[in-house]
Structure 1
Amino acid sequence: MKLASLPLGLAGRATVGLGKRVTGLADEILGEQAQRRTAEHVFSVLGQLKGGAMKLGQALSIFEAALPEHLAAPYRQALTKLQNSAPPLPAASVHGVLERQMGADWRDRFSEFDDTPAAAASIGQVHRAIWEDGREVAVKIQYPGAGDALRTDLRHLSRMAPMFKVLQPNFDVKRITVELRERLLEELDYELEADAQRKFADAFRGDEQIRVPEVVHASPEVLITEWVTGTPLATVISEGSEEERDRAGLLLTTLHFSAPKRAGMLHADPHPGNFALADDGRLIVYDFGAAARMPGGMPFQVGRLTKLTLEGKAEEVVEGLRGEGFVPQDLIVDAPAMLEFLRPMLAPLGSEEFRFSREWLRGESTRLTNQKSEAYKFGKQLSFPPSYLLIHRVTMGSIGVLCQLGAKARWRDILEEWLPGFADPGAIEGDHPTA
């Protein structure tokens, strides 16, 4: 495996170097040239994988916004290559997958089929075609052996678990790793993805803000949907006007908070390659392989505790976080210190309007990861419930994209409308219609 070819020392220097550079201490460990070579090598290896490691790379690509500007450029270049690129599958292999999944007469289902892939992702690639009824479609084909590759990559990636245990002693790393592994393996099942996409399409059909392509056909390794295009979000980030970037951020956040209530699901893969802005101003949403089932909507306590933090109700916040598993039962916590720890993260909700920025994200990264900071010492005492893994992944990933966009909006208004418990934190959880 290519991942195994990464020397442990190099991977270690990359991890330490990235963390230290974010906190302003990297010069003690790595020079600029060594850091650049590390970035290029690590992410070039990740980019060649069709499995879990490339998914890790895609996740990391969101967080380049947290890097100091003088270092961000080489990482940005290496990381963004992972968002929409992978070695293409030969046409003969593509045809083989289609025949196994759709039968020997698979060509009869299409009026046209382009053998050249239009896009590539971590475990599959997309081809443009014309369906038998004349509709233009996107045909996503899973790489042969992707399942085995993903499982192997995840075993390699699990070796990073001891590092996280050192960083966060109270985290149940084993349970979190199992949860992450199960969620990633779900992405191998295109029929499961099709079911999620249909639920999103039903929920947002005719919506003025969000568009979800309709599912045309699904089998375990082939997923066919409507071909819907717009300006890729990566292009909006790099070239879009302020108005376009603000709108993209507003719509992405609306999707994040409204989907659990409207579709009973959470789109859990918020990297820029999964979104585009349509000509009519709507956000086009692709790739539903990572989707959290939330039949009751977003957890009530997420909204309640967010609002209580903004209101400065320290004791209630600590009590609520302890009940959810973030504060160990035997840990004595200074309630005002908890507010000091949390409130800077909620700055986007503390004012009428807020513009996300790379500078703000870098400041928060420094505050939370600098081993000399009070926030770092405080956070190290806390725990992390595995049940919140996907919510945290989506929230942090979305914040990374918002900072890349530099988006400004009235973010609090979105939570008031869609997040259970936020508008009325004094309500009883069971009384809320989405609880």
Structure 2
Amino acid sequence: MDDVSDLPRKALSRTAKLASLPLGAAGRATVGLGKRIGGAPAEAVMAEFQRRTADQLFSVLGELKGGAMKFGQMLSLMESAMPEEFAAPYRATLTKLQDSAPPMPAATVHTILARELGSKWRDRFSEFDDIPAAAASIGQVHRGVLKDGREVAVKLQYPGAAEALRADLRQLGRVARTFGSWVPGLDIKPLITELQERIGEELDYDREAQAQQAYANAFADHPEFVVPRVIKHSPKAIVSEWIEGAPLSGVIADGTKAERDEIGLKYVRFMFSGPKLAGLLHSDPHPGNFRVMADGRLGVVDFGLCARLPDGLPPEIGSLLRISLQGDGDQVVAGLREVGFIKPRMEVDPQQLIDYLAPFAEPARAEVFQFNRAWMREQANRTSDFRSPNAALALKLNLPPSYLLIHRVWIGGVAVLSQLEAEAPFRSVLEEFLPGFQD
């Protein structure tokens, strides 16, 4: 992805590598069968198969970056919904995809800097590290020090990122059903469709910088959150303040219960307070975008996807959640129909709807709620089992475009809280920041 002029050949190479994911898994299964015939224990063969498949997952999706890695990041977010026997071998590999990928060569980095910041870009810095501090799906971040002594993060977009994203997502769409065997109970196709619809927003670094600065202004000197201020930006580069913190994935993996509970509550407070304080909803909730600061605050480092909500969250969300907790199915049906979740001539049984929504509303019912992977898997299985009445009901529900990113944050946020296994008074956050919930 380093030479834009060579995109056609590289596009073919990317397609071949993406196609190798399911084929490679099948090939290793054949090798495993050979080992089994040779007398190796079944458990050992399966463990080796899963380890090698995980290695290939990171190697291919990480190397390709673009839409391939973006897809991997979404998988990493939803691993808490996967069956444990499937998710466990892949957990560490999926976590790697949250904020690391093979970097661009230094010469390519310098070319981008000259184009985006001017030919004398070096005159702006007293130090610049050619080795990226983080490399992800469509760009990588370098650490630098400006001539005035400020430490900065320099985020650069990969050359050809737009072309690579579109090509990857087309190919992933073709093999979506094959990936279903990797992630039982998870429908991959809608994830890819959403990525395709959001390409333009995530590629526009000017738009991202504006959102980041709006958040920085709204949360300046906040006791719970840190958002780095933007210093300079262009369509393919953002220079902002550097913040030092431990990745949220580290807390998920190794944090104490107290640490996971505390960070889980701050994570929710950040997500719900954004629309009220900044008029924006941070819409990319995966852990790679969050840092735990030395002073305990939660740092946020990526604003490539934000929903513009100048009037805050729609009050219908809070009021319908409140009504569903009261068990009034008729009002919930009427309210969902009014905002477009139920189409005009679609008939929905009110009590069945209340039963369907009850587990989703459960965290809002209790004063203190315990999230965990088992609960998340239960909800995923409950809604994806085609033999269940829930599946038929889910097909009758519609997701209006204006609620797409809100829905993504809600589901993705619940997934992260389940990974954290956080226990905290989440209802109090809804009472403070969700319009209509207390009315």
TM range (shorter): 0.7 to 0.9
Question: Could you say if the C-alpha distance between residues 13 and 421 of structure 1 is closer, same or farther in structure 2, counting changes exceeding 3 Å?
Answer: farther
1:10 to 2:10 alignment: no
Q: How does 1:145-224 map to 2 (within 5 A)?
A: 145-159=160-174, 180-224=195-239
Q: Which residue of 2 aligns with 1:336?
A: 351
Aligned equivalent of 1:303, options 318, 327, 337: 318
Q: Is the 8 A contact 2:162 2:199 kept in 1?
A: no
TM-score (norm 1): 0.86
1:373 to 2:385 alignment: no
Aligned equivalent of 2:65, options 44, 50, 72: 50
| Distance in structure 2 (CA, Å) of the matches to 1:45 and 1:179 | 21
Question: Could you say if the C-alpha distance between residues 44 and 373 of structure 1 is closer, same or farther in structure 2, counting changes exceeding 3 Å?
Answer: farther
Q: How does 1:64-79 map to 2 (within 5 A)?
A: 64-79=79-94
Shift of 1:104: 1.1
| Distance in structure 2 (CA, Å) of the matches to 1:90 and 1:390 | 34
Shift of 1:163: 10
Question: Could you say if the C-alpha distance between residues 390 and 13 of structure 1 is closer, same or farther in structure 2, counting changes exceeding 3 Å?
Answer: farther
| Distance in structure 1 (CA, Å) of the matches to 2:50 and 2:134 | 30
SS at match of 1:48: helix
SS at match of 2:123: helix
After superposition, what is the alpha-carbon deviation per residue over 1:193-217, rounded to whole angstroms, capped at 9, x for unaligned?
Answer: 1100000001000111111011111
Aligned equivalent of 1:227, options 235, 238, 242: 242
Question: Could you say if the C-alpha distance between residues 52 and 418 of structure 1 is closer, same or farther in structure 2, counting changes exceeding 3 Å?
Answer: same
Shift of 1:343: 0.6
Q: Is the 8 A contact 2:231 2:241 kept in 1?
A: yes
SS at match of 2:396: coil
Deviates more, 1:5-14 or 1:382-391: 5-14
Percent sequence identity over matched residues? 52
Q: Which residue of 2 aligns with 1:141?
A: 156
Q: Is the 8 A contact 2:169 2:195 kept in 1?
A: no
| Distance in structure 1 (CA, Å) of the matches to 2:397 and 2:61 | 31
| Distance in structure 2 (CA, Å) of the matches to 1:234 and 1:9 | 25
Q: Which residue of 2 aligns with 1:167?
A: none
Q: Which residue of 2 aligns with 1:260?
A: 275
SS at match of 1:187: helix
Letter of the structure 1 residue corresponding to residue 231 of structure 2: V
Q: Is the 8 A contact 2:18 2:172 kept in 1?
A: no
Shift of 1:220: 1.3
Question: Could you say if the C-alpha distance between residues 315 and 162 of structure 1 is closer, same or farther in structure 2, counting changes exceeding 3 Å?
Answer: farther
Letter of the structure 2 residue corresponding to residue 395 of structure 1: W
| Distance in structure 1 (CA, Å) of the matches to 2:126 and 2:321 | 52
SS at match of 1:156: helix
Q: Is the 8 A contact 1:180 1:389 kept in 2?
A: no
Q: How does 1:17-28 map to 2 (within 5 A)?
A: none
Letter of the structure 2 residue corresponding to residue 10 of structure 1: P
Q: Please provide the CA RMSD for this pair.
A: 2.6
Letter of the structure 2 residue corresponding to residue 408 of structure 1: E
Aligned length: 400
Q: Which residue of 2 aligns with 1:112?
A: 127
Question: Could you say if the C-alpha distance between residues 410 and 12 of structure 1 is closer, same or farther in structure 2, counting changes exceeding 3 Å?
Answer: farther
TM-score (norm 2): 0.85
Letter of the structure 2 residue corresponding to residue 388 of structure 1: Y
1:413 to 2:413 alignment: no
| Distance in structure 1 (CA, Å) of the matches to 2:176 and 2:402 | 18
| Distance in structure 1 (CA, Å) of the matches to 2:388 and 2:23 | 26
Gaps of at least 5 residues in structure 1 are: 15-30, 165-172, 425-435
Q: Is the 8 A contact 1:137 1:227 kept in 2?
A: yes
Shift of 1:49: 1.9
